Chain A
Amino acid sequence: MIETIFYILFLSQILLFSVYFPNKIYQRMRYVITHYPCNQYPKLYPQPIENYHRFHGNYRLANWLIAAAGLVTLTLSIVFNNKGEFIEPQVLVWLFFMVQFMPVMIIELSEFSQFKMMRTADRSSVRSATLSPRSLVNFIAVKWLCVALITLLIAIVYSFYLEDFIISIEGSAVFAAGILLSVNAFFSGLIYWNLYGKKLNPHQTEADRQKVITVAIKSLVFISISASIFLMVTLSIKEYQLHSLAPLAMTIYLQVIALFSLGNSIGSIKVDEINFDLYKEESLL
C-alpha cells in the first residue's frame, strides 16, 4: 500500500517538475517572443533571435528526456520491486530531483547572463530609482516571518529533544541544527540581496521589480517553513523506525518546494501584466 502511494507520488513528481511546470515556462517564453518580437522590442533581445529559439527548443527537449528517464526509472522500480537493494528509494527520489532541477538552474543562470548583456547593450545614460524605501515587511506579512522563525526553533528543539538534549558534535541533532541554520542563513542572504542588491535588469520598472521581490521572498520563507517541517518528519521517521515512509516524505517535500518556488512564480507574475514598453527602442521615460 505504502509502495503504491510512493509510486503515485513519484509519478506526480516526474509530471510536475518535468512536464507541467516546464510546459508552463516554455509557453511563457514563446508568448513573450511571439507578442513582443525583436523588431519592435529590441532591448529585450541583446542576443540574436536564433539563440532564443534554440534555447527554448533545448529546454523543452531536455525536460522531455528527463521525464522519459523518470518514467523508465519508475517502471524499473516497480518491475524489480526496489526496496533498497539497488538504491534507497528516498535517495533515488533525491537524485532524480537533482536532475530535474538542472534545467531550472540553467534558466536561472541564463537570466543572469541575459541581464548582463542587457546592461552592456544599454546606451542610455539615465538611471532611475524610487524614493520609497524597501523593507522586508512590505513584501511579506509579519505572521509568516514569525511562523518561519517558530518552526525553525521548534525543529531545532525537537532534534535535541530526540537526543535527550545532549549536545554532542557526534550527535545528529547538532548536524541537523547546523544544516537548518545554514540554509536559513543562506535564504536570509538571498532575501537581503533581493531587497537591496543591484538592479540586474536595467529596463525593469519599480512596479515589476516589487512583484519579483515579493514572489522571491514569499517562496524563500515558505520553503524555509517546509524545510523545518521536513526535518522534524525525517527525524521522527528515524526515531520511530518508520523507514518505509521516508521516500514518501522526500517526494512530498520536493513537490512542496516546487509548488512554492516555480508554482508561486508562475502563478503570481502574469506575463501580460509585465510592462514591456520599456524594451522598445524609443521608450519614453
Chain B
Amino acid sequence: MVLLKRRNIFMEIFIDIDNPLPQFSQLIEQIKLAVQQKQIKPGDPLPSIRQLANDLGLNNKTVAKAYRLLERDSVIQAKGYRGSYIHPDAEKNCTVNLNDLVEEKLTDVIGMLRNTGATDSEIRIAFTKVMNSDRKRGS
C-alpha cells in the first residue's frame, strides 16, 4: 500500500508496518513517487535520518538504508552535515528501477545458460560461488 498525501502545507508519507513490503522499500517508493508527482522538487531538503526515524517510529538503520539506496540511484544527494537533498536529476532517475534491471539481466543470463544445457542446480551453485568470491574480493 503506497500512500502519499499533502495535508495543508506538509508533504506527508505513510508507512504500513504490517505491509509485507520492507519498510525501507516503502520509504524509497514514496519518496520517488513524491518526486514524480512533483510534490517535492530537485534541491528540496529532506529530513535527517534521525528525524524521519523518530517520526515514523522506525530504526535509524532502516531510514539510513533507504537514503543510501536513494543516493545510489541518484534520487537524493547527501551533502554531509547539511543533510540530504533531492537530486537535480531525480525526476529522470526515479523511473530507473535497479531491481527490474537486475531481474531483466538475470533472466537473459539464466536463459542463455539453460540453452547451453546447464541445469538449474549447476546455475545456482555457480551463482553462489561467484557471489561469495566477489564478496571476498571486495572485503
Which of A132, A206, A285 has the most CB atoms of chain B within a 10 A radius of its CB? A132
Task: Please determine whether B14 and A207 come into contact, CB atoms closer than 8 angstroms.
Answer: no
A131 CB within 8 Å of chain B: yes
Task: Please determine whether B17 and A133 come into contact, CB atoms closer than 8 angstroms.
Answer: no
Q: Please name all residues of chain A whose beta carbon is closer than 8 Å to the beta carbon of B31 when the two chains form the complex.
A: 131
Taking CB as reference atom, which chain A residue is nearest B85? A133
Q: Please name all residues of chain B whose beta carbon is closer than 8 Å to the beta carbon of A134 when the two chains form the complex.
A: 47, 51
Task: Please determine whether A129 and B3 come into contact, CB atoms closer than 8 angstroms.
Answer: no
Task: Please determine whether A127 and B54 come into contact, CB atoms closer than 8 angstroms.
Answer: no
Taking CB as reference atom, which chain B residue is nearest A131? B11
Task: Please determine whether A125 and B12 come into contact, CB atoms closer than 8 angstroms.
Answer: no
Give the docked Cα–Cα distance between A80 and B37 (Å).
75
What interface size band does chain B fall in? Answer: 20 to 34
Q: In angstroms, how far is the closest chain B Cβ from the Cβ of A23?
A: 32
Give the docked Cα–Cα distance between A196 and B60 (Å).
12
Give the docked Cα–Cα distance between A47 and B10 (Å).
31
Q: In angstroms, how far is the closest chain A Cβ from the Cβ of B38?
A: 13
Tell me which residues from 265 to 285 in chain A have a Cβ below 8 Å from any Cβ of chain B.
Answer: 285
Residue interface mask A127-141, B partner, CB < 8 A = 1 = 111111110000000
User: With A125-B17, A126-B15, A128-B13 in contact, do A133 and B51 touch (Cβ < 8 Å)?
Assistant: yes
Q: In angstroms, how far is the closest chain B Cβ from the Cβ of A191?
A: 14
B40 CB within 8 Å of chain A: yes
Taking CB as reference atom, which chain A residue is nearest B50? A196
A24 CB within 8 Å of chain B: no
Give the docked Cα–Cα distance between A132 and B51 (Å).
10
Q: Please name all residues of chain B whose beta carbon is closer than 8 Å to the beta carbon of A128 when the two chains form the complex.
A: 12-15, 55-56
Count of A-B contacts with CB under 8 A? 78
Give the docked Cα–Cα distance between A239 and B35 (Å).
63
What interface size band does chain A fall in? Answer: 10 to 19
Taking CB as reference atom, which chain B residue is nearest A207? B8
Give the docked Cα–Cα distance between A126 and B47 (Å).
19
Task: Please determine whether A285 and B3 come into contact, CB atoms closer than 8 angstroms.
Answer: yes
Q: Please name all residues of chain A whose beta carbon is closer than 8 Å to the beta carbon of B57 when the two chains form the complex.
A: 127, 198-199
Give the docked Cα–Cα distance between A167 and B8 (Å).
54
A205 CB within 8 Å of chain B: yes
Give the docked Cα–Cα distance between A196 and B50 (Å).
7
Residue interface mask A189-229, B partner, CB < 8 A = 1 = 00000011111000001110000000000000000000000
User: With A133-B46, A285-B3 in contact, do A199 and B54 touch (Cβ < 8 Å)?
Assistant: yes
B16 CB within 8 Å of chain A: yes
Tell me which residues from 154 to 198 in chain A have a Cβ below 8 Å from any Cβ of chain B.
Answer: 195-198
Q: Please name all residues of chain B whose beta carbon is closer than 8 Å to the beta carbon of A207 when the two chains form the complex.
A: 7-8, 10
B72 CB within 8 Å of chain A: no
Tell me which residues from 102 to 127 in chain A have a Cβ below 8 Å from any Cβ of chain B.
Answer: 125-127
Q: In angstroms, how far is the closest chain B Cβ from the Cβ of A242?
A: 48
Tell me which residues from 1 to 54 in chain A have a Cβ below 8 Å from any Cβ of chain B.
Answer: none
Give the docked Cα–Cα distance between A129 and B57 (Å).
9
The chain A residues found within 8 Å of chain B, CB to CB, are: 125-134, 195-199, 205-207, 285
Provide a sorted-by-A list of 6 A–B residue pairs whose CB atoms are within 8 angstroms.
A128-B55, A130-B13, A130-B55, A131-B31, A196-B48, A285-B14
